[in-house]
Amino acid sequence: MPSEVVATNRRARHEYAILDTIEAGIGLTGPEVKSVRARRVSLAEAYAQVEDGQVAIIGMHIARYDAGGRQVAAEPARNRRLLLHKGEIRRLERAVREKGVTLIPLRMYFNSRGYAKVELGLCRGKREYEKREAIKRRDEQRRTEQAIREYQRRR
């Protein structure tokens, strides 16, 4: 269970239907870990790719860490390696071969032992009408909850 969530990709749940999730470690440098702890991370444009038996996260932005006046050199949008077991990588590779399926980072957190982790979602893009239906359901749920609260307040 995640103990300290540092970044979430809220847009992913709107844009994609999440078929499965998997937890992966992430290879970071020291200054990157400090920036992540300071919550200077963006998962907005990020996705993961399986290549040559390895999984890399592409497009994730981790701001440069300001070390008391001097900039510590680390490319903010570099590709970062995800740490998974061989069997997990093979399973993801098979799933991604399917048409329309992609790996999207859903959130980044530090687990109870202090390791940086990324929750990857095996996702399929939603169609426009599916997005509209989800918005409708959410609005209806919100109106129902408001009506219940209003009813309870009047009693």
- Tell me the per-residue pLDDT of 16-69, one tens digit each, with 9 for 90 and over: 888 889 999 999 888 888 888 889 898 888 999 998 889 999 989 888 887 765
Q: Using CA atoms, how far apart are residues 138 and 90, in angstroms rounded to an integer?
A: 36
Q: In degrees to the nearest 10, what's the CA dihedral of 147, 153, 154, 155? A: 110
User: Which of 13-27, 67-81, 111-125, 132-146 bottoms out in mean pLDDT, i.e. has the lowest?
Assistant: 67-81
Enumerate the domain spans of the chain: 4-125
Sorted by sequence, the CB contacts under 8 Å of residue 78 that are 6+ apart come out as none
Closest CA to 76 of 65, 61, 66: 61
Q: Using CA atoms, how far apart are residues 57 and 81, in angstroms rounded to an integer?
A: 6
* CATH 2.40.280.10 applies to domain 4-125: yes
One-letter amino acid for residue 141 of the chain: Q
- Tell me the per-residue pLDDT of 52-61, one tens digit each, with 9 for 90 and over: 889 999 989 8
Token pair of 148, please? Answer: 């219940």
Q: Answer yes or no: are the C-beta atoms of 63 and 35 closer than 8 Å.
A: yes
Closest CA to 42 of 1, 75, 74, 7: 7
